[in-house]
Structure 1
Amino acid sequence: MTTKTKTPTQGKGARPSGGRRAASDAPQTRLNVNINSQTAAALKDYADQQGVSITEAVRRLVGVGDFIAKAQDEGKQVLLRQDGETERVVFSY
């Protein structure tokens, strides 16, 4: 069995530098959203664990969500593997 690992920045149109333009080159869009306290806490926890700003945490998590949504749209499955066990994860929006 062959396992192929692909990160969200790999694939069609990916940039060799990890998929990001320099901050000064990237067009900016200001985003103002309302989120509940549970979502705010999860976002802060992620940012703290990764040592990044809330803005960077939002960028990363939106990128992951986009990657998963596109994969599912293509008929792909999201699988979690641990200790020889495989679990299929279904994201419904």
Structure 2
Amino acid sequence: MTNRAQSYRKFMGYTQIQMAKLLNISVQAYRNKEKGKTPFKDIEKVKIKKEVQKNGFEDITIDEIFFGNKVAKSFQENNEEVK
């Protein structure tokens, strides 16, 4: 399953090995996080966001990297139910 974190990693030209080193975790642990088997820790999300910002996306947020449209869609659906 491709997620946004993986997409940004590939756009930056980083390998899973490089990302694992950035987060100070094993490559297998990183792969599991990228596949969605285990969640990214908050501190890891911050490190990835900072790295993405350094690579041309200065205004990116953690939500955009890790949640994308799912949060916005869910929020919109919930608001429509309330109306």
TM-score scaled to structure 1, two decimals? 0.25
Q: Which has the higher helix share?
A: 2
| Higher gyration radius (CA) | 1
Could you say which structure has the greater relative contact order, defined with CA pairs below 8 angstroms and 6 or more residues apart? 2
